Structure 1
């Protein structure tokens, strides 16, 4: 079991980061692509009602992300513990964490799904659903929430697979899920005439396949961490540790959804159904950039966690520096591409003149801060990998809760609909500043004590990092 992850502490950082990140980025781009395909097919299926139908999917998306957030908290918290445990050769602890992740996936999905289904219309109205988009959002979410267990388990399992350095399997799982979803979308939406319900069924079925595949991977003992049935019983100490570390990612995901409440209500007030549809389309297009940044961060996570456990701090500093260079480049190139091809991208989903006019203006303003986002994602992921819950939590909530919600509350009162779009680059800049401050403090410790394993000063570094 230990040999399967030893390469995390030995291979060159440049080669290792590419090996771990590239498959994840590919898989996540496929995920972003099938989210776009869902919207594309919905636009085709509903014709003159496409703006309302796309708006329904837009309103549904942040609620769907809340369900997935429970998989993210288990995955990020559990994978951080597992990667550090593997680096420190604490294999029994890694197995206990894996079992707890499996059992908690089922428990949490049921506890979340039941109240969400019961109060669905109320929740949708809170998120700003207008009378025009609410029926479409309801039809889609009823099926998604009912299949919530597959989302929670699938997301958590992919994080765990990446934590042991098996990025290729995580990529293949996302490729299979995304490819199957793209194939099933027209089958259910057009073949059976099910519209948005067909899109939801296709998404759930694809996640079922991914979840079963990853479950069998561990049941057959193929992972670096072995599954034992006795580890399924929740261990309170492990649950607390998973929660403490993963709460940052959970809050980041949920705060994004909470932020959407303010955004969609502002859009409904200042722009109506068309503005809601525009925002949903821009978020899906932007997901290609964001997923690439997230993929780089997920590639960094096992490297940082393993080498922190092994007290090889110089390797962490090198990996962080390279990750930041790549994510900044991705942000700049992505912004330029979207800026020059924004009209063509918007036309993929609807030809409504008002939608196109609003979209061209909104896309330019909203995405100005994308080159800055990578620093926030990388820094937050780094603190999670090191098991430092407080700074990870602060960074996770900074962009959406601390900065974006106040901006989207104040700016529309001054600048109308343009104020909603402008809130995003303002929040990006403020989160960038905070992330840079926290990263500069920890990065210099890793540079100063890069040979701490030989010098015997590992505990000194850990104490200094804990003080941040």
Structure 2
């Protein structure tokens, strides 16, 4: 059957072709997703103002917590599923999938309850000043009501990619982005709904793609099948998925804590204006890191499948090619951001004060970008191999171990500039850590022959 072949080709097709076929759709999908975040911010900036951008920036950590749980389920599940498919254990792959769907339903119920009970208190806790709190509440209330759509779409995107169907995974990112971009001006300007209009447009777009994804699974186009019996939560599966997905959860959740720390320090040492400036730069940062994450996501199912199928030569070829591609990409983006930062700021605002503050901040924040690729790939690699400890260390490193302490310490000496300086320093330290871990595991991951690897595996099983 056609949909079974899409998984099997992970073990047979040439690596450069596979990596291209899986990465390019992931990149396009993520670019479009980043684009709709960018368009959201542009419409809010021009339609409501920089305070509204600051309000959405303050609200963003709440969304990141929802995404953190979805990422743990999606990326952890994708790793387990791709290895089960590689081992030809299709029924178990379906059970993993069913359990993930049920966990997402539980998350969604919690999100809806939170929207009616403690949303305002949570946003104040996350650093909302009295001026920007109304914007943050207006934006987050519809988003929280639509938790199921966000969580389902976010988690299943990784699972679709884990069975080798990158083109459909790309479509699940493009569809909501296009709908959102069309609906934004209608709700923000046409219906005069302001910030809330942007949120409602986002929820509708995610609901639309949820219907498309459900249809994909229910009409038999996937290598996986969705049955009622598989929806029973199996805690042994949850444990395995969470252990692999924990780094992704930590990364997203620590991103939320990082945002709270940054917003708090910017208000303390600067003003609401700097929160708005950071909101714009964060969108630019998301846009620039997308190609690197896209290549990493293309790499993960190939590595997971070939590791499960014991085709270690193919696995190593994939890793080396991925590293080359992301290093070239990150160096190119670094050069672009150093030479033309004002071009990117002008897309979001015509306010010269905001542009000037943004250009200064961008040049500092992107100073260490040329080493970002290695750290991203290393984290994805350990997740794909089902090695949670090094993956967890890497996902913790940049944000929790390095960035958050630097954001809290440096402003005491350098003011607002200290917040921006934290980024390149954290990038450099994370790169060193990723390089050390890869070097330590070089025999297994990068250079060993197949026979030696089989001996290592046999020794591991007997211990």
TM-score (norm 2): 0.96
Local SS of the residue matching 2:310: coil
CA distance in 1 between counterparts of 2:112 and 2:250 reads 18
5 Å matches for 1:31-430?
Answer: 31-46=33-48, 50-115=49-114, 117-430=116-429
TM-aligned CA distance change 1:276 to 1:466, over 3 Å: farther
Summarize deviations over 1:110-162 as a string: whole Å, max 9, x none. 22442355222222122221222111111000111110100101011111100
Deviates more, 1:252-261 or 1:369-378: 369-378
TM-aligned CA distance change 1:117 to 1:440, over 3 Å: farther
CA distance in 2 between counterparts of 1:101 and 1:217 reads 16
Deviates more, 1:263-272 or 1:59-68: 59-68
CA distance in 2 between counterparts of 1:350 and 1:252 reads 30
Aligned residues: 461
Counterpart in 2 of 1:8? 10
Contact 2:76 2:243 in 1 (8 A): yes
Local SS of the residue matching 1:387: coil
Contact 2:11 2:309 in 1 (8 A): yes
TM-aligned CA distance change 1:16 to 1:443, over 3 Å: farther
Local SS of the residue matching 1:11: coil
TM-aligned CA distance change 1:116 to 1:374, over 3 Å: farther
CA distance in 1 between counterparts of 2:330 and 2:313 reads 26
Deviation at 1:458, TM superposition (A): 2.5
Deviation at 1:416, TM superposition (A): 1.0
CA distance in 2 between counterparts of 1:444 and 1:157 reads 33
Contact 1:384 1:392 in 2 (8 A): yes
Counterpart in 2 of 1:27? 29
Structure 2: give runs of 5+ residues left out of the alignment. Answer: none
Contact 1:442 1:465 in 2 (8 A): no
Deviation at 1:101, TM superposition (A): 1.3
Q: CA RMSD in A?
A: 1.8
Counterpart in 1 of 2:439? 440
Deviates more, 1:333-342 or 1:240-249: 333-342
Summarize deviations over 1:407-440 as a string: whole Å, max 9, x none. 1111111111111100011111111111111112
CA distance in 2 between counterparts of 1:462 and 1:173 reads 41
TM-score (norm 1): 0.95
Counterpart in 2 of 1:458? 454
CA distance in 2 between counterparts of 1:158 and 1:346 reads 30
Deviates more, 1:21-30 or 1:126-135: 126-135
CA distance in 1 between counterparts of 2:460 and 2:350 reads 57
TM-aligned CA distance change 1:136 to 1:19, over 3 Å: same
Local SS of the residue matching 1:31: helix
TM-aligned CA distance change 1:13 to 1:313, over 3 Å: same
Local SS of the residue matching 2:129: coil
Summarize deviations over 1:144-183 as a string: whole Å, max 9, x none. 1110100101011111100000000011111111111100
CA distance in 1 between counterparts of 2:359 and 2:144 reads 33
